[in-house]
């Protein structure tokens, strides 16, 4: 199957973008982690303020290990803040905490894209786990139709990632508006938080582009591989 190797070239631009996005988010977060907000509020304190301001008094805030492992879990109704966010008073930490609270508000208000994303999770899990097996079987037996089923199943990942983009952009938009309107950050601190969240958003864009490149690669392999079997 050495003749399939050339298709990896298609993934190189997406791989480079992914590496750049990861470097960008890490370097940007590190840079603005060194700038403390003028009010001296920690990420956890900011999260509590935002949640309470939106009537989400029952939403819990927890501390989890790691850096940039922050997340909101709708099943447990918990905003989890990482080591670099929970107790930090940096503008980067405040921005990230506000972003995760944005997801909590999305769920509470029935934001449509996040409802769609939640519904896609089980479909995406099945699709991603079965796609490579079905695709490989299609190639082995020279079945173009079976290989294409594998491609379609893998494509559910790209659909999920595409739906994730507006969810993440909206959470960041909500976060920045709240930070500004509630005077949690000063006017000159808002751009710093925006840069942190914009860098984080790039990782989601890179992930989608990577999946699209992989889909193109699989299509080319399917057409070439099954044709060779005939």
- Residues marked active site are found at 100
| Residue 78 DSSP SS3 | strand
Alpha-carbon gap, residue 140 to 170, rounded angstroms: 44
Backbone angles phi, psi at 81, to 5 degrees: -115, 135
* Contact by Cβ (8 Å): 29, 217: no
* Contact by Cβ (8 Å): 131, 123: no
* Contact by Cβ (8 Å): 90, 98: no
> First vs last Cα of the chain: how many Å apart?
15
- Convert 173-198 to b/e letters by CB count within 10 Å (16 or more is b): ebbbebbbeeebbeeebbebbbbbbb
Contacts of 100 (CB under 8 A, 6+ apart): 47, 70, 71, 72, 79, 80, 81, 171
Contacts of 187 (CB under 8 A, 6+ apart): 180
Q: What is the largest CA-CA distance in the chain?
A: 70
């Amino acid at each position: 199957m050495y003749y399939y190797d050339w298709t990896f070239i298609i993934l190189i631009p997406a791989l480079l973008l992914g590496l750049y996005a990861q470097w960008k988010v890490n370097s940007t977060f590190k840079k603005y982690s060194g700038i403390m907000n003028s009010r001296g509020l920690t990420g956890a304190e900011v999260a509590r303020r935002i949640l309470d301001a939106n009537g989400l008094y029952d939403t819990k805030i927890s501390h989890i290990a790691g850096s940039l492992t922050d997340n909101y879990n709708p099943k447990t109704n918990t905003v989890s803040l990482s080591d670099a966010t929970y107790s930090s008073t940096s503008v980067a930490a405040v921005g990230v905490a506000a972003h995760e609270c944005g997801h909590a508000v999305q769920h509470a208000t029935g934001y449509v894209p996040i409802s769609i994303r939640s519904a896609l999770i089980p479909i995406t899990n099945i699709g991603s786990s079965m796609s490579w097996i079905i695709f490989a079987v299609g190639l082995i037996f020279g079945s173009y139709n079976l290989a294409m089923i594998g491609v379609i199943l893998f494509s559910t990942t790209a659909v999920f990632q595409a739906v994730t983009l507006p969810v993440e952009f909206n959470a960041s938009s909500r976060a920045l508006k709240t930070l500004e309107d509630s005077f949690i950050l000063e006017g000159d601190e808002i751009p710093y938080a925006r840069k942190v969240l914009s860098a984080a958003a790039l990782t989601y864009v890179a992930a989608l582009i990577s999946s699209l490149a992989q889909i193109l690669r699989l299509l080319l392999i399917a057409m070439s591989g099954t044709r060779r079997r005939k």
